[in-house]
Structure formats: structure tokens, C-alpha cells
Chains A and B, each alone.
Chain A
Amino acid sequence: DTAVSQTPKYLVTQMGNDKSIKCEQNLGHDTMYWYKQDSKKFLKIMFSYNNKELIINETVPNRFSPKSPDKAHLNLHINSLELGDSAVYFCASSQAWTGGGGVTEAFFGQGTRLTVV
């Protein structure tokens, strides 16, 4: 019973295509994230949603568009894929910051390895 699940696990596609990665969490968390792990292995935050509302939008090309149909889902749609988009994309979720003792830990999905050829 996976807590944070992403599909697909692997995605190989040609330049210029449009693709989506889906993410679902069954933890009842309020906050979901997309992270990108690049070739240098950095985990960089891309987006964060809290209760379906976009909270964090880092400097990401507008070809990347997150969609949160409900609190349990945060999908990532990528238009006009480029070679540099090849990376591993991780979805994560956590409880929202409650204003008390700081943030709780984030739970990650297994990652989606995107290869653009």
C-alpha cells in the first residue's frame, strides 16, 4: 500500500513531445511537491501545492505546468520536451506547516526517470 506513488516509473520520449507524470498520495497530507534530480544529483524543488493551491513555484520554464485536481493528486505536465529535461522527477507530500514546531518530513515517491531523445 504505497504512500506516495508516481507513474510512470520510466518515460522515454522524443524532443518536442508533451508528456505527463502523475502523482498520488494516500497519507492525507495537505502539501505536495515536485522535485527534480539533475545529472549532478541535486534534488531541486520545482513546485509545491498546499490544499490544491500553488504555493511555491521555483524558476522553472513555463513548459512545466503542475495540476492539482484534489489534495491527494499533483500531476506534472511538460510541453515541448527538451534534451535538458532528462532527469529523475520525484513527487513528495508532507503535512502543511502548522505554525508550531516547524515542518514535518516529506514522503517521496519512487521517482520517474525521464529520458528525452
Chain B
Amino acid sequence: DQQVKQNSPSLSVQEGRISILNCDYTNSMFDYFLWYKKYPAEGPTFLISISSIKDKNEDGRFTVFLNKSAKHLSLHIVPSQPGDSAVYFCAASGGRFYSSASKIIFGSGTRLSIRP
């Protein structure tokens, strides 16, 4: 029962171009969405997040878009740089609906490769 889905296991983008990573979710109770970046042999590191009250959040080269009606979010990286090569995990949480600690549900990840 995958509540957060990343249907593209890998993506290759030329340096300087835009990288678009996609994520779909099924649980309408989710109200907070996060993107994590993971290098080999390291833990995931937080990249950017968006609350369900917004449809866009931007931080430097990274922008996350949320389409609640489609239950879809995407991460845009522009321009893509070699250091962006990593696995990107989409994650979601229904923080407001839990009485205490939240549960962050992760997708399966998309491996992004930036080619020169």
C-alpha cells in the first residue's frame, strides 16, 4: 500500500537544464510534503517542504509545486548542477491529524544523474 509514489526510478538531465522530479500521493489526509536528497552511504537530508495551504515554495534553485486536486507534487531544480546527482525522496505527512508525533511517509526515490 504505497501512499507516496515516485514512478520514475531514475532521471538523467544535462547540466544547466531543468530537472523535474515527480511524486503522487493517495492519502488526502496528508497536509505537509517534503523532499529529501540522499547521497550514497549517507542519510537523507532535508531539501525543501511545502504545506498544503500553498501551491508553490521556492528556495534558491529548488521549487516545489503542489497540485492538491491531482494529489501530485513536483520538484524543479534549475539550473541543474553536477552536485545535484543523488537520490531524491518525496515524503508526506498528516501532521495536523496526529495528536503528537507525526509520521513521515516516503516514496521509493528517484535517482537523478546530471550529465556534463
Interface of A toward B, CB cutoff 8 Å = 4, 30-31, 33, 35, 40-45, 48-50, 55-56, 90, 92, 94, 96-97, 99, 101-103, 105-111
Inter-chain contact A44/B106, CB cutoff 8 Å: yes
Inter-chain contact B108/A102, CB cutoff 8 Å: no
Q: A-B pairs with CB below 8 Å: how many?
A: 76
Shortest Cβ distance from residue B97 to the other chain A in the assembled complex, whole angstroms: 9
**Most chain A CB inside 10 Å of its own CB: which residue of B31, B51, B106:** B106
- Report how far A43 CA is from B31 CA in the complex, Å: 19
Q: Residues of B within 8 Å of A, CB-based: how many?
A: 27
Identify B101's interface contact among A48, A105, A107, CB under 8 A.
Answer: A48
Instruction: Please choose the segment from B12-20, B69-77, B88-96 that sits at the chain A interface, where 4 or more of its residues have CB less than 8 A away.
Output: B88-96
Shortest Cβ distance from residue A111 to the other chain B in the assembled complex, whole angstroms: 5
Interface of B toward A, CB cutoff 8 Å = 31-32, 34, 36, 41-46, 49, 51, 87, 89, 93, 95-96, 98, 100-106, 108-109
Inter-chain contact B44/A90, CB cutoff 8 Å: yes
A-B contact pairs, 30 of them (CB 8 A): A4-B43, A31-B100, A31-B101, A31-B102, A35-B106, A41-B87, A41-B108, A41-B109, A42-B106, A42-B108, A43-B44, A43-B109, A48-B101, A50-B101, A55-B101, A56-B103, A97-B95, A97-B96, A99-B96, A101-B51, A102-B31, A102-B32, A102-B51, A102-B102, A103-B95, A105-B49, A106-B46, A106-B104, A108-B43, A109-B43
